[in-house]
Amino acid sequence: MSRIFVAGLGAVSPAGWTVAAMRQALDAGTPLPAEPLDQHRQKPLLGRMVPKPPSRPEFLSHPRLRRASAITHYTAAATLEAAAPLLSASSDARFGLLVCLQSGCVQYSCRFYDETLRNPATASPLLFPETVYAAPASHVAALLKNVPSVNSLVGDPSSFLQGLSQAAQWLDDGNVDACIVAGAEEAHWITADALWRLDRMASISAGAGALCLCRDAELSIGVELAAITDGHTYVGKRGRTAAARAMREQLTSSSGNGSGELLCDGLGSGWRAGGPERAAWRDWTGPRLSPKLVLGEGLMAGAAWQCVAACDALANRRFTAANVSLVGFNQQAAGAKFQGVSDFCRNQT
């Protein structure tokens, strides 16, 4: 199988509309402020929202994005940031696009269903097409233009790594020159309400993260995809704790418990949901980064932020390798390892 390199990163988060903004917030380490999502709710439903962009993104002038929802805007911005180095290097690169979601287009879905319950005869036909999981991928593919392969995957946050694995396969098959894997979510009071029922300490957030993968080491930002573990599914007697442990063992079988590598984990402020992951990494002595503590629970976007933060740390030569731990809510535990690529290696490939 081909070696797979990271050619670009993109992020939209409560910290702002770039990877740099996210890095700055993570470096500061202070949880970003949360605000009420709906004043009319009985419960205090708080979320960490994406701020307005400093200037109107150019892609919003594309006719396909006029009525698109926030999740598409986030996906587009993160994807374009991740693809920018390749787009400037080659105008005819063929892109694969994988968009991973958990809640998906929840804002328009709730709005449309609310209109349906009030009176289906007046429910807006403009909203309905934007409710489908495939809408963000469709719009972003139209922006990128040369996209022979597109897929939308739904699952808990751990399935972001299935997206990375499928991208590696597409690249290996030679059907595309580069492949973007994005994870995105938008905030809505109903998602916050659902999260509140499962973990009262967690605070919902929104945004997107994207990795642009390629086979050409010359195009890399100095980061290589080293490994993705199996998905350790929660079925039968194997619950989250056992699956998290199995993932950790598979991921660090060669590197042990933290020998100079970064661990980018999925722990947030919610204690209950994080228990199995905390237990699996209890003996980790190396450096650790927990983006959710600062950015909030971004669901699939959160998984993407973890991968982006890990790769960004390697690209900036802060570490030589980084492990990403994703212990999903209700599907599986999976992990990934990225490693830095020295200039020597890049020239040799």
Partner 1 sequence: MLFPTTLPSRTHACVVITGAGIFTALGGGWEENAKGFRAGRSAFRPVSLFDVSRQRVKTAAEADLPSTLPKTSLDDRRLDRLDRAGKMLLLAAHEAMEQTGWESGGNVPIVLGTTGGGMLFGEAYFRCAVEQSSRQRGQAVRAVCYQPQVQARLVMEALNFSGPITTVSNACASGSNAIGQAWEMIRSGRANRAIAGGYDSLCEMVFSGFDSLQALSPTICRPFDAGRDGLALGEGAAVIALETLESARQRGARILGELIGYSSSIDMHHLTQPHPQGTTTQAVMKSACASAGVTPEDIDYVNAHGTGTLLNDSAEAAAISEWAGNHGPELPVSSTKANVGHLLGAAGAVEAVVCLMALREQWLPPQLAFETPDPACRFPVVHAPQDAKVNVVLSNSFGFGGVNASLIFRRWT
Residues 22-41 binding partner 1 (CB under 8 A) are: 41
When the beta carbons of 112 and 284 are compared against partner 1, the nearer one is 112
Where residue 317 falls (left for φ over 0; alpha for ψ -120 to 50; beta otherwise) is: left
Minimum CB–partner distance for residue 90 and partner 1 (Å): 19
Q: How many residues bind partner 1 (CB under 8 A)?
A: 76
Closest alpha carbon to 295 in 33, 9, 7, 3: 33
When the beta carbons of 33 and 125 are compared against partner 1, the nearer one is 125
Check binding of 18 to partner 1 (CB under 8 A): no
Check binding of 307 to partner 1 (CB under 8 A): no
Minimum CB–partner distance for residue 21 and partner 1 (Å): 29
Minimum CB–partner distance for residue 202 and partner 1 (Å): 13
Bridge partners, 288 (sequence order): 263
Instruction: Give dist(CA 190, CA 181) in Å, integer.
Output: 26
Taking CB under 8 A as the criterion, which residues in 51-70 touch partner 1?
64
Q: Which two tokens stand for residue 133?
A: 């999981």
Check binding of 276 to partner 1 (CB under 8 A): no
Minimum CB–partner distance for residue 267 and partner 1 (Å): 20
Instruction: Give dist(CA 282, CA 248) in Å, integer.
Output: 11
Minimum CB–partner distance for residue 210 and partner 1 (Å): 18
Check binding of 234 to partner 1 (CB under 8 A): yes
Options 229, 252, 290, 306; binder of partner 1; rule CB under 8 A? 229
**Residue pair 308/210 in contact by the 8 Å Cβ criterion:** yes
Check binding of 114 to partner 1 (CB under 8 A): yes
When the beta carbons of 5 and 17 are compared against partner 1, the nearer one is 5
Options 6, 168, 294, 307; binder of partner 1; rule CB under 8 A? 168
Q: Which residue has the tokens 């982006």?
A: 308
Minimum CB–partner distance for residue 299 and partner 1 (Å): 11
Minimum CB–partner distance for residue 123 and partner 1 (Å): 5
- CA atoms within 13 A of residue 227's CA, in its CB half-sphere: 20
Per DSSP, the residues of 10-62 read EEEBTTBSSHHHHHHHHHH-PPPP-EES-TT-SS--EEEPPPPPSS--GGGGS
Which ranges of 180-280 does DSSP label H, i.e. alpha helix? 189-198, 240-251, 271-280
Instruction: Give dist(CA 185, CA 99) in Å, integer.
Output: 10
Check binding of 349 to partner 1 (CB under 8 A): no
Separation in Å, CA 82 to CA 75, 198, 212, 220, 249: 11, 33, 6, 11, 31
Check binding of 242 to partner 1 (CB under 8 A): no
When the beta carbons of 80 and 294 are compared against partner 1, the nearer one is 80
Check binding of 241 to partner 1 (CB under 8 A): no
Check binding of 75 to partner 1 (CB under 8 A): no
Check binding of 322 to partner 1 (CB under 8 A): no
Sheet architecture: strand order including 46-48: 35-36, 46-48, 204-205
When the beta carbons of 69 and 269 are compared against partner 1, the nearer one is 69
Options 142, 201, 242, 345; binder of partner 1; rule CB under 8 A? 142
Length of the chain (residues) = 349
